[in-house]
Structure 1
Amino acid sequence: MASMAVQLLGFFLGLLGFTGTVVATVLPHWRSTAYVGSNIITATTQMKGLWMECVWHSTGIYQCELYRSLLALPRDLQAARALMVLSCVTSVLASVVSVMGMKCTRFARDSLMKSPLVLSGGICFLCAGLLCLITVSWTTNDVIVEFYHPFLPSGLKYEIGLAVYLGYASACLSLAGGLVLCWSGSADRSRSPLLMQRSQPSSPPPPFNNIYPPAPLYKPPEALKGNHAPSLCSLSSNGYRLNNYV
């Protein structure tokens, strides 16, 4: 029962991390306008994401425009897109494999495949968390380097957006869920050989032939004629044995 609860905890942590990764991938709040220098008082806020660029006006108007050309995008943005999409796909695979391997499901019940499936799901959650963490760390580094660049105009400087912080939280949840599932799968896998040894039947009793000697072979009465020893009482009247003269 405790192992089932641990598996459920790890699965829900990984599922929360997957949900946060999807939301962070879609949101445009990866970079927001930095209010420094001449941008201290402004009527608009510009935000850039992986798929679109948005502008928020002080009047409440919110306008977004998708990136029309994939090849015209910077290489770091293309790489960030690929890593986040790969992280989402890996999380989906991890969720499916974990559901099949959890003890509370009916798939392959009472089978030795349960523990390897849970372990594989935990490894997939770890990979998804690492991919998301690499992407948000890379974006954070680029934003910080550009912000402190001395020759870059103030209007081109950005700050870290909310989607990046959401990506950090999602990566930590995915990593935590993967670690819990891996620990649960490895514990169940190490416990399964002991259960197999306990479930094996005891050694059978010794065979019947080793306790009692085998019975003699059956012989017909005809085969026993003439096979008996001569009797001591078969004597003649003179005291000599009769079979000496017959």
Structure 2
Amino acid sequence: MANTSLQVMGLMLAIAGWAFGILVCVAPWWRVSAFVGDELLVSQVLWEGLWMTCLSQWGRLQCKVYDSGLALSSSAQTCRGLCVLSLLLCLLAVPLSVVGLKCTRCLGDAHESKARMVRVSAVLFLLAAFFFLVPVCWTAYVIIRDFYDPNVAAPFKRELGPALYLGWGVTVMMLVGGAVLYLGSASPGVPAVPVFGRGGKANPPSTAESKPEKVFV
């Protein structure tokens, strides 16, 4: 039988990861640049994301959406696609898990069908976590690689933005939420012994049924 508390806890974690994943996807905080030459300029900071870039100067923030998505590099376009795919998988998994929860009455008493729907939604959350982890790790790898590359000019070097750290946290929430959701809907390992089975113990017959009545002539 499904565990309602595990299902609800896993669903809440997965939904929280989905909500923060939307924030990470649209935020312009993936890359941050504050280096010009060998000096650090604290008055001007450039932020770059998947969809826009922002310039912070003397407390003022100016953001601009990229003019053309096709003009971006292939890695940036791939990161965009994987993030959107991850969020769409979560969008599909949320209604499936809500309908399949044991505490809901959407499918009546079809417990096995509800548990199967929750397991499918849990797998979708796990896939979403994987597709979200790939662009975050790839972006971090490119930033670190270019930062220590002597052939890259100092003004073009970038540092890890806070969105990447939040993206790793989003991945953990999706993974843990999907795993807990799957465990909460897993079937028991040993089925119950049927009453009329070979080794089952049925209720003993009553005395009136076991003993024939004596007929006196």
Name the TM-score, length of structure 2 as normaliser: 0.85
Spell out the pairing of 1:57-206 with structure 2 (5 A cutoff). Answer: 57-58=57-58, 60-111=59-110, 112-186=112-186, 188=187, 190=189, 194=192, 197=194
Equivalent position SS for 1:71: coil
The alpha-carbon deviation at position 39 of structure 1 amounts to: 3.4
Query: For residue 117 of structure 2, what is the amino acid of its counterpart?
Result: L
Cα separation, 1, equivalents of 2:27 and 2:82: 15
Q: Which has the larger radius of gyration?
A: 1
**Map 1:16-55 → 2, pairs under 5 A:** 16-35=16-35, 37-55=37-55
Deviation at 1:96, TM superposition (A): 1.0
Measure, in 1, the Cα distance between the counterparts of 2:181 and 2:188: 12
Alpha-carbon distance in structure 2 between the residues aligned to 1:198 and 1:76: 61
Q: Are residues 57 and 109 of structure 1, via their aligned partners in 2, closer, same or farther at CA, if it must alter by over 3 Å?
A: same
1:40, CA displacement in angstroms? 1.3
1:2 & 1:99 partners in 2: Cα distance?
Answer: 14
Q: Secondary structure at the match of 2:47?
A: strand
39-48 vs 176-185, which moves further: 39-48
- The answer (yes or no) to whether the contact 1:39–1:155 under 8 Å persists in 2 is no
For 1:39 and 1:64, locate their aligned partners in 2 and report how far apart those are by CA, in whole Å. 24
Which whole-Å CA distance do the structure 1 matches of 2:175 and 2:108 have between them?
A: 27
Runs of 4+ in 1 over 2 A off after TM superposition: 34-39, 188-191, 197-200
- Secondary structure of the 1:106 match is coil
C-alpha distance in 1 between matches for 2:115 and 2:163: 35
* Cα distance change, pair 171–199 in 1 and its aligned pair in 2 (3 A): farther
What does the per-residue CA deviation read over 1:13-40, in whole Å, with 9 as the maximum and x for residues that have no partner? Answer: 1011101110000100000014475231
Shift of 1:194: 3.4
Equivalent residue, structure 2, for 1:7: 7
What is the percentage of aligned positions where both structures have the same residue? 35
SS in 1 for 2:91: helix
Higher relative CO (CA 8 A, sep ≥ 6), structure 1 or 2? 2
State the AA in 1 paired with 2:154: S
Stretch of structure 1 that moved more, 37-46 or 160-169: 37-46
Rounded Cα–Cα distance in structure 2 between residues aligned with 1:41 and 1:80: 29
TM-score by length of 1: 0.75
CA distance in 2, matches of 1:198, 1:26: 58
Aligned AA (2:178): G
| Deviation of 1:120 (Å) | 0.5
In the alignment, the residues of structure 2 paired with residue 199 and residue 172 of structure 1 have an alpha-carbon distance, to the nearest angstrom, of 47
Tell me how far 1:199 sits from its aligned partner. 10
Shift of residue 43, structure 1, vs aligned partner = 2.1
Give unpaired runs (5+ residues) of structure 1: 206-246
CA contact (8 A) 2:3 2:185 kept: no
| Residues 128-149 of structure 1: CA deviation (Å, up to 9, x unaligned) | 1111111100111010001001
